[in-house]
Amino acid sequence: MLFKRYRSHDKSKNNFSFTIGNQQLFSLSKSIPTFNVEIYNSAHKNVWNQFVERAKNATFLFHRNFMEYHSDRFEDASLLVFKDTKLVGILPANREGDTVYSHKGLSYGGLVLSTKTKIEDATLAFKAILKFLEVQEVTRLQLKVLPKIYHLQPADEIDYLLFLTEATQTRVDVSATIYNERASKIQGNRMEGVKKAEKQGLYVEAGKDFEPFWNKILIPNLQRRHNAKPVHSLEEIEMLAAKFPKNIVQFNVLKDEGIVAGATMFITDTVAHVQYISANEDKQQLGSLDFLFHQLITSTYREKKYFDFGVSNENQGKNINKGLQYWKECFGARSIAQEFYEINTAHHTKLDSVFI
């Protein structure tokens, strides 16, 4: 179901007069700003991307050149909110029936705000979104909230708005993350793997050569262990890396010029995030992954604020792959939450009287 276009036309006035006794000194007439919601289309591409660049809680995943690589798989339902003519917020999203989701093709989402957007405008923008969705016969908004490690400035407005609108928490995942300013010492069992790799002459190459990792390591492992495929095809990850060369980097571990392990990294302003990780069956004997991540954590991305291994959850967040989580924690990673919420769009009325 496609959205109908919607725009609020409330242009009422507030009048202010100042008097002493019976004498009126002056009078002011102040226009109440209108918050307009528009459905994303290609004409918005430049203004959308420019907003992402200056937002306080956005990453390159929200850039349209990233979002649109899988446009054939989703009914895009992204929204822009304008305060009069000024863009104050965006919502990367897709629609399925009467539900709009934080875009299912992205790792995270939520209400994206500029550094200049204050909480009153954020509240009115979110209210406008919910009201708009209700008019469009959308009953539920499912938000996959951006983890705070990606925030460039404090950006917790959405947490407060979820409380006010009585949102229901539907899922929580835990991601294993290292805070580099207070990084814990890497445990001895991981350092033993590093020593194994050094003795056997393993080395790491960084760049844009995704093919050996995808075809010789990642795809066979996912097929054998989970009967699954990578979220990104080889062609897709190569295309995205060409568009975002500073943000997407491949690291391959080699032995005698043959690949034995690798990791694909997504790099943002604050986080070095592991998007894919895999190794051949000799990883225990070779110490290939210990060797790779020791280098990434202690050298390559030591200056990033956070190093994030990603989640180890299964069964919609209700279980954790114990062995995988333990391996990550041995490098000093500890848990951060990624939260999922459902909001009844009719609850926009709960934002009517927030400010007193």
CA distance 356 to 354: 7
CATH number of 185-300: 3.40.630.30
Q: Residue 171's closest CA among 313, 44, 344?
A: 313
Q: Residue 58's closest CA among 225, 247, 235?
A: 247
**Chain centre to alpha carbon of residue 351:** 25
CA distance 161 to 350: 10
Q: How far is CA 257 from CA 181, 212, 218, in A?
A: 35, 11, 18
Is residue 304 within 8 Å of 269, Cβ to Cβ?
no
Radius of gyration of the chain (CA): 24
The side-by-side arrangement of strands in the sheet containing 112-113 is 35-39, 79-83, 86-91, 112-113
Q: How far is CA 273 from CA 207, 217, 250, 308, 340, in A?
A: 16, 19, 12, 5, 20
Burial (CB count <10 Å: 0-12, 13-18, 19+), residue 227 = exposed
> What HEC string does 222-287 produce?
HHHHHCCCCCCCHHHHHHHHHHCCCCEEEEEEEECCEEEEEEEEEECCCEEEEEEEEECCCHHHHC
CA distance 162 to 143: 10
Query: What residues does each domain of the chain span?
Result: 31-172+339-351, 185-300
The two structure tokens encoding residue 224: 């054998």
Place of tokens 């591409």: 45
Q: Residue 213's closest CA among 180, 268, 171, 250?
A: 250
Q: Residue 278's closest CA among 213, 215, 224?
A: 213
Is residue 142 within 8 Å of 160, Cβ to Cβ?
no
- pLDDT per residue rounded down to tens, the chain (356 residues): 555 555 544 443 444 443 344 444 344 445 678 999 999 999 999 999 999 999 999 999 999 999 999 888 899 999 999 999 999 999 999 999 999 999 999 999 999 999 999 999 999 999 999 999 999 999 999 999 999 999 999 999 999 999 999 999 999 999 999 999 999 999 999 999 999 999 999 999 999 999 999 999 999 999 998 899 999 999 999 999 999 999 999 999 999 989 999 999 999 999 999 999 999 999 999 999 999 999 999 999 999 999 999 999 999 999 999 999 999 999 999 999 999 999 999 999 999 999 99
- On the question of a common fold for 31-172+339-351 and 185-300, the answer reads yes
List, as one string, the DSSP characters of 30-87: EEPPPEEEEE--GGGHHHHHHHHHHBSS--GGGSHHHHGGGGGGS-B--EEEEETTEE
The two structure tokens encoding residue 86: 């000024």
Q: What is the pLDDT of residue 26?
A: 41
Q: What is the pLDDT of residue 3?
A: 55
Neighbour tally for 50: CB within 10 Å: 11
Neighbour tally for 263: CB within 10 Å: 23
Its CATH class, for the domain covering 31-172+339-351, is alpha beta
- The reported pTM is 0.89
Q: How far is CA 248 from CA 179, 214, 238, in A?
A: 21, 14, 9
